[in-house]
Structure formats: structure tokens, C-alpha cells
Amino acid sequence: MAEKTKIKTATVEEIEEKDTGMTADQLAKEFKEHSVAEFFKKNKQMLGLSGKIKTLTTIIHEYVSNSLDACEEAHVLPSLEIKIAELGEEYYEVTVTDNGPGLTKQTIGKALGQLLAGTKFHRMIQQRGQQGIGAAGATMFSLMTTGKAIQVISSGGDKGTFMAELTIDPKLNQPKIIKMEDVDRKFSGTAIKAKFKEIKYQRSEQGPFEYLRRTAIANPHAQITLVEPDGTKTTFPRTSKVLPTKPSEIKPHPKGITVDELLTLSHKASGHKINSFLKNDFDRMGDKAIEEIEKQVHFDLNKDPKKMSWEEAEEIVKAFQKITFIAPRLDGLRPIGEENIKKSLQEIVQPEFISVVERKPTVYKGGFSFQVEAAVAWGGNAGREMGKDDSGQAVRKVEIMRFANCVPLLFDSGGCALTKAVNSIEWKRYGIKDVDSAPLTVFLHICSVHIPYTGAGKQAVADEDEVMEELRLALMDTGRKIYRFVALQRREAEKQLKRKLFTKYAKEVAIGIHELTKKPTNDIERKLLDIVLQKLKIEEQQEAKDDLPEELSDEEIKKLEAKEKKEKDKKTKKSRLETVEGDE
């Protein structure tokens, strides 16, 4: 037998004798407070500032998103110019100019030099940005890599044009205005010029060119011009002169509220009674709902909301979950629109066929309304060009374009609900035999007052069940529409090939029959061709009857998918049993 290992236990005295750890007082001296700017300076990858190409694209994204939002808020058709100049190795100057309302001297510092400051985070409204981090994050990155301030020219409202140089104090998360002066110059909008190192410009699927190309598709009312480092100038013209309808700011829905959020809102309430606070500050809260809540709580709803306790807030939230409320208002959503998507794709992608679907708004877990739009473009310049074949023809591969609130999502595609939805579709059912090598562009857009992003970088959408279902239904609808074109195109090509082959051999067969029957060759050939055409027509009619998918409702699609899944699971189970039996 192996000897038992003896374990020696140290005494308290021995531990105290050897202990060299810090005391509570010494640890207390190590405690330090850090600002949010210091946190993101140390964790810049959380802002999308990681990787040389990705960082440059993220910087362009933050400036362009702010410009588009500002123009739309001011009801101005956006005209943007982005200029990227190479100053040295991995060293660039980025200039973004817009024709928006501009900034004031009082707000310029907070807008560009203070993280988590802005007009978006506290409002329940569909906007491109949500946190008020991006532009200030770019200012911080400029300071980190070059030590230089950014330069800004703005129309500044009614007080004329001014110029400012500013940076950020990470320790305090406060802007540092280095210079500010009035400028005798006519200018309308904002121009930001900033220098950055540790970045790289490249025309790639994740570079600034592709980002702006897709931004133009999702924002047909905007004109965007890009000047690349080599001087190449590309303008993506607006395809619509109509500004999108401004989304309405909405109130929180009871189904999406937490105890902490309820208490926070109650402390800001203007009313003096909890019942009036609930009715005025929440969406879909009527007199019947108030009556139901009164029956389920053990305190008086005439109480001052500012004096509400945690336990009382818990009771109200529990009552919310038991009550059936009308779905949230949908006027806070602003889709791109079927016609606008079609025009943009025709202008920029130039496909042979486009199928566009706009789903009805619905709600995902937490009470947030959202809407999905999908499009499938086939042929032409659709898909990504992967080079040329032996005949010089472009070889194309499927391209998936993802958007959230009109903003392109270029990164983290693998973990995104939009990508997962595309990959979950049985494209063969819609006539696309090999989707990976098809001349196909798939466009997916989700809009909401609160996009369920997977991280602070806002590059991937979480796969909430309701979101995934809407994405799949939209894609299947576009698939049914494009099937007719793809299938008919394929049939036409096959028919032409058959006709060519039959015509080629009909002459030879006619000559052979003529030698046997001595009948005129032309008459025999004509009759043979008539038989061929009749046969082709019958085949075409039968294929159209057998293959074209029927128009199905959402419920019918769900039932069909459930049936197919059940059959697939049954086959998988059977296969596993056969494997086990074989092993035995």
C-alpha cells in the first residue's frame, strides 16, 4: 500500500509570524477614484478602438453618426465630406465637415471632450448613438496617440462662426479648451479636424470606404463625399430629397421597467401622487391599469412618489407583470422604407433584381418596440467581388449588410443576430443552390429606441427570440419573392441551352430521316423543331406548377418550420441510435 501523505497544519502563531500582508489601514491608502474617461482610456477596445483599420473606421463612424443626427434634428438634408490625409506611417489627419446646425461655445466642450455627455442617453427616441461616448472617445484617442488637440470650426448658432482647439482631461473627464476665438467667415455646420496615430487606411470590407458606402445605402437622403489618402474622390449622391419623418420621443413601457428604474423616475416626478406619476410618466398607463395596481398593492397610491420605498416599488413592478398592457407606441420608430431601400440598392449595388420587405413593428422582451426591414439583391454588382475567372468575368460571393438605426455594422458579425438569421435560412428552398458563392447582397436593418447590442462597441445585435423570429420571417418573405426571378432566370438559361442543342442536332437527324423516307429535309427539320418547342413548353409549365413556393402567412410559415424541425430532430435521433447500435 502507498504511504499516506502527512499534512502539516500551521499554527496561528506561525501564520502571524510569517504574515507580510498589508493591513486594512494600508489598503485604504491604495483606494483611488477613477473617472469614466480613465476607465475607457485603459479599455479603449470597448469603444471599438482596437485594430488599426477598425479604429479608423470607428472614428469615422462616430463623427458621421453625430453629423447625420444633428442635420436631421435641424431638419436639414445632410451633406457630408470626409477627408483622410496620410501624414506619415500609420499617421493620419481626419476632417469631417457637415452642413448641420453647428455647436455653441457652451456645448462644444461637452460634445467633443466629455464622455457620457450629450443629448441621447436620457431620451427614449430612435437615434444612431445612444451613450454620448463616441466623439469624445475619438478626442481622447487623438490625445493618447499624438498628444495633440482637435480643431473645430462651427457656425455656433446666431453668434456667428467660431474656432476652437480642445482636448480632454481623462482624470476629471472634463474638456480642456486650449483656444477659442470668433472667425470672420461665412460657414454653416461643423468641421472637425483631428490627428491620429496607430491607425491604417485600407479599402477593405471593414474600412472607411465600405462603411460610408453602406451608410449611403441606409441613409438615402444624405450626400456623402470621401476623399481618400491618395486623393481619390468618391461621392455617394442622395437618392431621396425627402427627410425621414422625425421619430417621437416615447415614455417607458411598464413591462420593461425595473424596481431601480421606477424609483429613479419617481424621484424626478413632477406630480405629487404615485397614481398621477404612473399615469403621466409611463406609456399605455390608463385608469383601468391604475385601478388594477391599487388592488394589488398594500399602500395608498395618493402618496408622494418621492417618498416611495424600495418595497413599495417592488409591489408596483410585480403588479405591472400581472397586468395586460397594450403594446408600446410605435411612432418612436423610423424605418428607412421599402422604396428608399430599393432606390439606394439600385443606385449603389445596381443588381438585376431586388426584393424588399418591411415588417410590421413589434416588441421584444423588456417592452421595447422594434421593426425589421430586409432586402435581397441578385445579380449585377450584388455580392462581394472576389476576383476574376479564366474568362475575365467577376467572381462574386454573398455579401451580408447589417444595420441598426441606419448605422452599418461592420464588425463582430459572427455573434450578431442579423448574421445568424441569414445563416439559418434554407436558401436552396428559394432557388439559391450555393448561397456562399452567389451574386447576392442581403440587407438587414433593425430600428428601435433601444437596440439590444451585445457590447459597448455597438457592432452586434443580441439574438433575442422575438428579434430572431422577425429577422427570419423577413428573410423568408424576400426569399419567396426573389425565387421567381432566380428560378425563371435559371430555367430560361436551361431552355436556351436545350434549344441550342436540339437545333444543332435537328439538322443531322432531318438528313438521316430524309435518306430513309426521301421526304424534304426542311419539312422534317421544321416538324422536329415544333416537337422540341412543344416539349420545352410542357416542361416549363410543369416546373412552374411544381416548384414555385406558395404565398404563406407568418403562422403557416411557423407551422411549416416547426414540422421540418421535428422531422430533422427525428432523423438526428434515429441516426444517433443507429450509431449506438453499430458500436454495440
pLDDT tens, position by position, 82-108: 999 999 999 999 999 999 999 989 889
How many Å apart are CA 15 and CA 21, to the nearest integer?
A: 11
Residue 252 identity (one-letter amino acid):
P
- The percent of residues above 70 in pLDDT, for the chain, comes to 78
Mean pLDDT of 543-556: 55
The pTM is what? 0.74
Strand partners, 179: 165
Residue 5 domain-assigned (yes or no): no
pLDDT at 39 over 50: yes
How many Å apart are CA 228 and CA 237, to the nearest integer?
A: 17
- Round the average pLDDT of the chain to a whole number and report it: 82
How many Å apart are CA 442 and CA 341, to the nearest integer?
A: 12
How many Å apart are CA 357 and CA 206, to the nearest integer?
A: 26
Question: What are the respective helix, strand and coil percentages of the chain, to the nearest 5?
Answer: 45, 20, 35
Mean pLDDT of 445-454: 90
294 and 205 inside one domain: no
473 and 497 inside one domain: no
pLDDT tens, position by position, 332-347: 888 999 999 999 999 9
pLDDT at 225 over 90: yes
Residue 279 belongs to domain with CATH number: 1.10.8.50
* Count of Cβ atoms closer than 10 Å to residue 437 Cβ: 14
SS3 178: strand
Instruction: Take residue 573 and report the three cell numbers written for it.
Output: 435521433
208 and 263 inside one domain: no
223 and 75 inside one domain: yes
Residue 241 domain-assigned (yes or no): no
Going by C-beta distance under 8 Å and a sequence separation of 6 or more, which residues neighbour residue 143?
149, 167, 168, 170
Mean pLDDT of 482-509: 70
Mean pLDDT of 379-396: 78
Residue 21 domain-assigned (yes or no): no
Structural domain tally of the chain?
4
Last residue of a domain, one of 461, 480, 499: 480
Instruction: Take residue 447 and report the three cell numbers written for it.
Output: 430600428
Query: For position 403, what pLDDT does the model report?
Result: 96
pLDDT tens, position by position, 42-53: 666 667 678 899
Q: How confident is the model at residue 131 (pLDDT cuts 50, 70, 90)?
A: very low
Mean pLDDT of 241-269: 86
139 and 168 inside one domain: yes
Mean pLDDT of 419-446: 90
- DSSP per residue over 365-402, as a string? TTTEEEEEEEEEEESTT-SEEEEE-TTSPEEEE-EEEE
pLDDT tens, position by position, 153-200: 998 666 789 999 999 888 888 889 999 999 888 888 999 999 999 999
How many Å apart are CA 455 and CA 439, to the nearest integer?
A: 32
Angle at 543 between CA 485 and CA 426, to 5 degrees: 60
Residue 123 domain-assigned (yes or no): yes
Alpha-carbon separation of residue 362 from 126, 327, 454, 466 (angstroms)? 15, 8, 20, 8
Residue 398 domain-assigned (yes or no): yes
By C-alpha distance, which of 439, 440, 260, 238 is closest to 347? 238
Query: For position 122, what pLDDT does the model report?
Result: 43
Query: For position 574, what pLDDT does the model report?
Result: 60
49 and 198 inside one domain: yes
How many Å apart are CA 376 and CA 342, to the nearest integer?
A: 10
How many Å apart are CA 421 and CA 398, to the nearest integer?
A: 14
350 and 318 inside one domain: no
Query: For position 51, what pLDDT does the model report?
Result: 87
Instruction: Take residue 208 and report the three cell numbers written for it.
Output: 472607411
Alpha-carbon separation of residue 215 from 96, 212, 409, 410, 480 (angstroms)? 15, 5, 10, 11, 27
421 and 454 inside one domain: yes
Alpha-carbon separation of residue 431 from 139, 480, 485, 536, 556 (angstroms)? 49, 9, 9, 20, 20
Q: To which residue does cell 482636448 refer?
A: 167
Q: How confident is the model at residue 233 (pLDDT cuts 50, 70, 90)?
A: very high
Going by C-beta distance under 8 Å and a sequence separation of 6 or more, which residues neighbour residue 440?
376, 377, 378, 382, 383, 398, 399, 432
How many Å apart are CA 244 and CA 371, to the nearest integer?
A: 15
Cβ atoms of residues 348 and 236 within 8 Å: yes
44 and 101 inside one domain: yes
198 and 54 inside one domain: yes
Cβ atoms of residues 398 and 442 within 8 Å: yes
82 and 102 inside one domain: yes
pLDDT tens, position by position, 259-289: 998 998 898 888 889 999 999 988 889 899 9
How many Å apart are CA 112 and CA 192, to the nearest integer?
A: 10
pLDDT at 222 over 90: yes
Residue 396 belongs to domain with CATH number: 3.30.230.10
Q: Is the dihedral of CA 472, 474, 476, 479 positive or negative?
A: negative
How many Å apart are CA 533 and CA 535, to the nearest integer?
A: 5
SS3 217: helix
How many Å apart are CA 178 and CA 147, to the nearest integer?
A: 13
pLDDT at 3 over 80: no
Q: Return the biggest CA–CA distance within the chain.
A: 123
Query: For position 575, what pLDDT does the model report?
Result: 61
Last residue of a domain, one of 322, 350, 375: 322
pLDDT tens, position by position, 298-353: 999 999 999 999 999 999 999 998 988 887 777 788 899 999 999 999 998 999 88
Distance of CA 95 to the CA centre of its chain: 25
Phi, psi of 552 (to 5 degrees): -120, 150
Mean pLDDT of 507-524: 79
Residue 30 domain-assigned (yes or no): no
Query: For position 555, what pLDDT does the model report?
Result: 64
Residue range of the domain that includes 315: 254-322
- The percent of residues above 90 in pLDDT, for the chain, comes to 41
Residue 244 domain-assigned (yes or no): no
Which of 243-252, 442-451, 466-475 comes out lowest in average pLDDT? 243-252
Mean pLDDT of 458-467: 90
Residue 524 domain-assigned (yes or no): yes
Query: For position 294, what pLDDT does the model report?
Result: 92
132 and 203 inside one domain: yes
pLDDT at 518 over 90: no
